[in-house]
Structure 1
Amino acid sequence: MPARPAPPVRASVVITTYNWPQALQRALEALARQRTLPHEVIVADDGSGDDTRALIETTARDYPVPLRHSWIEDRGFRVALARNRAIAASSGDYVLLLDGDMLAHPRFVDDHLRAARRGSFVQGMRVLTDEQGCARLLSGDVTSLGFFDPGLGRRRHTLRVPALAALSLRLSRGQSDRAIKTCNQGWWRDDLVALNGFDERFEGWGREDKDLAVRAFHAGLQRRSLRFAGLATHLYHRERHEEGGSPNDALLADTHASGRIRSPQGLDRHLAEFAQRPLPDLTQAFADAP
Structure 2
Amino acid sequence: MKIDTSIIISTYNSPTWLEKVLYGYNNQTYRMFEVVIADDGSTSETAELLARLQKEVFFPIVHVWHEDDGFQKTKILNQAILKCEAPYIIMTDGDCVPRKDFVEVHVKYRVEGSFLSGGYFKLPMNISEDITKEDIYTERCFDVKWLKKKGLKSSFKNSKLTSGPLKAGILNAVTPTTATWNGHNSSGWKSDILAVNGFDERMQYGGEDRELGERMMNNQIKAIQVRYSAITVHLDHPRGYVKEEMLFKNREIRDKVKLEKMVWTDYGIV
C-alpha contact (below 8 Å) 2:18/2:94 kept by paired residues: yes
**Alpha carbons of 1:256 and 1:115: their partners in 2 closer, same or farther (altered >3 Å)?**
same
**Alpha carbons of 1:9 and 1:187: their partners in 2 closer, same or farther (altered >3 Å)?**
farther
Report the equivalent of 1:35: 29
Report the equivalent of 2:227: 227
Report the equivalent of 1:216: 216
* Partner of residue 264 from structure 2, selected from 255, 259, 262: 262
For residues 89-104 of structure 1, the aligned pairs below 5 Å read 89-104=83-98
TM-score, normalisation: structure 2: 0.87
Output the CA distance in 1 between the equivalents of 2:110 and 2:127.
Answer: 31
Report the equivalent of 1:45: 39
Q: Identify unmatched segments of 5+ residues in structure 1.
A: 1-7, 269-290
Output the CA distance in 2 between the equivalents of 1:206 and 1:186.
Answer: 19
Q: Does 1:21 align with 2:15?
A: yes
Q: Deviations over 1:111-132 (max 9, x none)?
A: 1111111111111121110022
Output the CA distance in 2 between the equivalents of 1:101 and 1:195.
Answer: 27
Q: Does 1:146 align with 2:139?
A: no
1:230 partner amino acid: A
Q: Deviations over 1:39-75 (max 9, x none)?
A: 2000000000011111011111232111110001110
Output the CA distance in 2 between the equivalents of 1:65 and 1:201.
Answer: 33
* Partner of residue 125 from structure 1, selected from 106, 119, 122: 119
Q: Kindly tell me the number of residue pairs found equivalent between the two proteins.
A: 257
Output the CA distance in 2 between the equivalents of 1:213 and 1:186.
Answer: 10
Report the equivalent of 1:187: 188
Deviation at 1:140, TM superposition (A): 3.6
C-alpha contact (below 8 Å) 1:159/1:228 kept by paired residues: no
TM-score, normalisation: structure 1: 0.81
Deviation at 1:152, TM superposition (A): 4.0
C-alpha contact (below 8 Å) 1:18/1:46 kept by paired residues: yes
Report the 3-state secondary structure (helix = DSSP H, G, I; strand = E; otherwise coil) of the residue aligned with 1:267: coil
Q: Deviations over 1:146-165 (max 9, x none)?
A: 12223447312213422234
2:195 partner amino acid: A
Q: After alignment, is 186-195 or 40-49 more displaced?
A: 186-195
**Alpha carbons of 1:10 and 1:211: their partners in 2 closer, same or farther (altered >3 Å)?**
same
| Identity of matched residues, % | 25
Output the CA distance in 1 between the equivalents of 2:208 and 2:152.
Answer: 28
Output the CA distance in 2 between the equivalents of 1:57 and 1:97.
Answer: 21
Output the CA distance in 2 between the equivalents of 1:109 and 1:97.
Answer: 11
C-alpha contact (below 8 Å) 1:14/1:95 kept by paired residues: yes
Q: Does 1:84 align with 2:78?
A: yes
Report the equivalent of 1:283: none
Report the equivalent of 2:166: 163
Report the 3-state secondary structure (helix = DSSP H, G, I; strand = E; otherwise coil) of the residue aligned with 2:68: coil
Q: After alignment, is 27-36 or 153-162 more displaced?
A: 153-162
Q: Does 1:205 align with 2:198?
A: no
RMSD: 2.4
C-alpha contact (below 8 Å) 2:10/2:40 kept by paired residues: yes
C-alpha contact (below 8 Å) 1:164/1:227 kept by paired residues: no
**Alpha carbons of 1:115 and 1:170: their partners in 2 closer, same or farther (altered >3 Å)?**
farther
Q: Does 1:114 align with 2:108?
A: yes
Deviation at 1:242, TM superposition (A): 5.4
1:196 partner amino acid: N
Report the equivalent of 2:68: 74
Output the CA distance in 1 between the equivalents of 2:134 and 2:3.
Answer: 34
Output the CA distance in 1 between the equivalents of 2:227 and 2:206.
Answer: 24
Deviation at 1:17, TM superposition (A): 0.2
Report the 3-state secondary structure (helix = DSSP H, G, I; strand = E; otherwise coil) of the residue aligned with 1:15: strand
Output the CA distance in 2 between the equivalents of 1:160 and 1:79.
Answer: 33
Output the CA distance in 1 between the equivalents of 2:226 and 2:186.
Answer: 9
Q: After alignment, is 33-42 or 14-23 more displaced?
A: 33-42
**Alpha carbons of 1:56 and 1:246: their partners in 2 closer, same or farther (altered >3 Å)?**
farther
Q: Identify unmatched segments of 5+ residues in structure 2.
A: none
Deviation at 1:97, TM superposition (A): 0.3
